Amino acid sequence: MCGIIGVTGTGPAVPRLIDSLKRLEYRGYDSAGVAALVDGKIERRRAPGKIRALEEVLVEQPLSSTIGIGHTRWATHGAPTRPNAHPHKAGRVAVVHNGIIENFAELKAELEAVGRVFESQTDTEVVAHMMDAALESGLEPTKALKSVLDRLTGAYALGVLIEGEDELLLGARRGSPLVVGWGEGEMYLGSDALAVGPFTQKISYLEEGDFVAIDRSGARMFDADGQAADRPIVQVSASAAMVEKGNYRHFMEKEIHEQPDSVQHTLAAYLDLAGMKAKPVESVDLAKIGRIQIIACGTAFYAGQIARYAFERLAGLPCDVEIASEFRYREPAVSKDTLAVAVSQSGETADTLASLTWCKRQGLKTAAVVNVHTSSMAREADVLWPTYAGPEIGVASTKAFTAQVAALLSLAVAAASARGRIAPEEEARLVKALFEAPRLIAETLADDSDLRDVAQELAKASDVIFLGRGQMFPLAMEGALKLKEISYIHAEGYAAGELKHGPIALVDEQTPIIALAPLDAVFEKTASNLQEVAARGGPVIMVTPIGAPSPHGTAVWRVSVPDCDPYVAPLVHAIPVQLLAYYTAVQKGTDVDQPRNLAKSVTVE
C-alpha cells in the first residue's frame, strides 16, 4: 500500500532513500517524502505526486545526511497533499507508516486535550506525537516505542527517526510487513525485500508485533511483549535488475511479454515433463480432502474462479471461490475436510490474509498460491504453492494472473490423478496441453496487429461488454477489470448466456462486445449469443482460435489466437484480453503502470 525505507550508515542516505522509493512506487504514488538528520536536527522534504516531484524539491533544497527515512504514499486518511505526506513530525520525532491506526481519532483527541497541535489529517501523525511525548517523559527510545505500540489499534508498519539519536532508527510491524536489511556498516528498514534490494539481499523478516532498533552496526529485535527476539537473516533474490523496464515502454507491457517464461517456470514446478504427469503434492492429501475453498481479491479471485471449473469437472472436487472481503466477515459454515486456498500475487492483501488466518483458526488446512514467496501469506499458510512470475510492478496484474492459473490448473490435474478420476493417458494429454501453453502464448504475442486495430476502436467507447462461457466467464470479468483499471472505460464481464436476462438492453452501435470463444463444448452456444447481440447492432469482436467458424450470418471482427486444448484456453485467451486493455490505455494516454486511485498491494481493508 505505502512504501517504507530507512537507512542508517556512513554514506549519503538521501540518494539511497530516493533510489528505493522509486522501486517502491508500485505500492503507492499519491505523495512522497523523506526525513533526515542534518546537524542533529530533523529536516523533511515532501511533495504531492510521484517521486520525481520529490526529486525536484530535493534539487532546490538538498539534504545531506547519513541517516533518514522515506515514504511513498497511497492515501487512506487525508487527501494526497504535502501536509498529509509522510514523514510526519512532532517535536524530536519523524514517522513513516504503512497501514491504518484505527483508534487514531480517540488518540488525537487525547493529545489535543494536552495542547498538541496537528498539521495533517492523517492517522499517522498521532504516532509521531505519542512517541515524542513518551521520549519527553524520560523513556529511552525502544521503551518509548513499546509504550506507543501498546496503545495502537490497527495494522501498521512504522519507521521512526529521532533527533539526538544520530545512528538510530526504530521500526515496528503489526499486520503490515517490515524487513530489516543487513549491509556492510549500513543497516536498512524496508516495507519489503524490494525496498532494500538495491543495497542488500540479507534480510530479517520481522514477525507480527515485533519492533526493532537498528544502527550502523546491527539490529536489536523485540517481540510483541518487549522480549529480545532473534529473527534469522535470510538471503533473498530481490535482484535490482529484475525490476527494470528494459526496452519496454511500460512495466505492464514487459510483464505481458514475460508470460511464456513465467507460465513455463510455474508449470515446471508442478508438472513432470519427462514422466508426463503431475508432480505429487506431498504436503496435502488431495485424495482425502472433501472441498476446496478459494479466497482471493481482484484478478486473483478470477484466477480462482477459472480453477473452480478444473477442480470440479476434472477432479470431482467441490470448489467454492469467494471474494476475501466478503468471506472474512460472513462467518461461513466450513467443514473440517475443507482445504482453504488463498490466491494472491503479493501475499499481503489484507482481506485475503485475514481470511486465511480465520480459516486456520477454524482448524482448516491452509495453502497459499502466492508470487512473493517471503510474504505474510506464504509464511502464514500450512502449505506454500508458489507461482514463479517474478516481481510484478505494473499495478494491473498480468503475468501473476497467468502464473496463478497455470499453478491451479496443474494442481487440478494432480488432484484428479490422486483421486483416481483420470487415467494416466488423460493425465499425460493434459500435461502435454499445459506444457504447450508457453509456446501458444508466445505465438499470440508475436502477432498483435489485430489487437492494436481493435484498441483504436475501444478507446472511443464509453462502455464495453466482455462475454464468455465456462472458464471464459471469469476471464471475461478479468478482461473488464483490466480495461477499467488502466483505460478508465466502463466495462462489464458477463456470462454469455446471461446477457438476454437484462444486460442486452445496454447493447447499441456504440457498445463493443468482446466475446471470448475458444473451440470448446459450449462454442456453438456462445456463437448463438453473438448472433443475438449482432442482431441488435452491437459491434462484435470475437477472440477465437484460427480454426473456429464465424457465427452463421453474423458480421464479427475476429481476433485470432492459436488453436489450443480447451483446458489451457484461459492461458492463451488471457493474452489478447491483457493486450486489448494495454493498447487501449496507451491510445488514451493514461498512466498505464500507475493508474489513478490504485495501489499494487492493498494491505488495508
Instruction: Supply the residues annotated as catalytic.
Output: 2, 600
* Cα distances (angstroms) measured from residue 58 to each of 18, 52, 324, 410, 597: 10, 10, 41, 50, 26
Please choose, from the candidates 200, 166, 160, 198, the residue with its C-alpha nearest in 3D space to the C-alpha of residue 70: 160
Q: Three-state secondary structure along 227-279?
A: CEECCCCEECCCCHHHHCCCCCCCHHHHHHHCHHHHHHHHHHHHEECCCCEEC
Question: Which residues are CB-neighbours of 81 under 8 A, at least 6 positions away?
Answer: 31, 48
Residue with Cβ nearer ligand M6R (338 or 397) = 397
Residue type, 542: M
The residue ranges that bind ligand M6R (CB under 6 A) are 297-300, 344-346, 349, 352, 395-397, 481, 485, 598, 601-602
Residue with Cβ nearer ligand M6R (427 or 485) = 485
The CB-of-243 to ligand M6R minimum distance in angstroms stands at: 16
Residue with Cβ nearer ligand M6R (26 or 211) = 26
Question: Which residues are CB-neighbours of 263 under 8 A, at least 6 positions away?
Answer: 399, 402, 403, 406, 437, 438, 441, 571
Q: What is the total residue count of the chain?
A: 605
The CB-of-345 to ligand M6R minimum distance in angstroms stands at: 3
Residue pair 475/574 in contact by the 8 Å Cβ criterion: yes
Residue with Cβ nearer ligand M6R (395 or 433) = 395
The CB-of-303 to ligand M6R minimum distance in angstroms stands at: 9
Residue pair 278/414 in contact by the 8 Å Cβ criterion: yes
Residue with Cβ nearer ligand M6R (253 or 427) = 253
The CB-of-323 to ligand M6R minimum distance in angstroms stands at: 10
The CB-of-212 to ligand M6R minimum distance in angstroms stands at: 25
Taking the C-alpha atoms of residue 298 and residue 578, their distance in angstroms, rounded to an integer, is: 15
Residue with Cβ nearer ligand M6R (345 or 444) = 345
The CB-of-270 to ligand M6R minimum distance in angstroms stands at: 19
Residue in the shown chain whose Cβ atom is closest to ligand M6R: 298
Could you count the other beta carbons within 10 Å of the beta carbon of residue 16?
23
- Beta-carbon-side half-sphere exposure of residue 189 (alpha carbons within 13 Å): 36
Residue pair 451/583 in contact by the 8 Å Cβ criterion: yes
* Residue 572 grid coordinates: 492463451
Strand partners of residue 464: 491
The CB-of-446 to ligand M6R minimum distance in angstroms stands at: 24
Residue with Cβ nearer ligand M6R (131 or 604) = 604
Residue with Cβ nearer ligand M6R (205 or 301) = 301
| CB-count burial class (<10 Å; 0-12, 13-18, 19+) for 63 | buried
Could you count the other beta carbons within 10 Å of the beta carbon of residue 230?
8
Question: Which residues are CB-neighbours of 372 under 8 A, at least 6 positions away?
Answer: 192, 345, 346, 347, 348, 378
The CB-of-252 to ligand M6R minimum distance in angstroms stands at: 9
- The torsion defined by the Cα of 318, 323, 326 and 329, in degrees rounded to 10, comes to 70
* Residue 528 grid coordinates: 448463438
Residue pair 33/85 in contact by the 8 Å Cβ criterion: yes
Look-up: residue for cell 488466518?
357
Residue with Cβ nearer ligand M6R (22 or 600) = 600
Residue with Cβ nearer ligand M6R (204 or 345) = 345
The CB-of-493 to ligand M6R minimum distance in angstroms stands at: 13
For 457, which DSSP code? H
Burial 538-564 (b: 16+ CB within 10 A, else e): bbbbbbbbeebeebeebebeebbbbeb
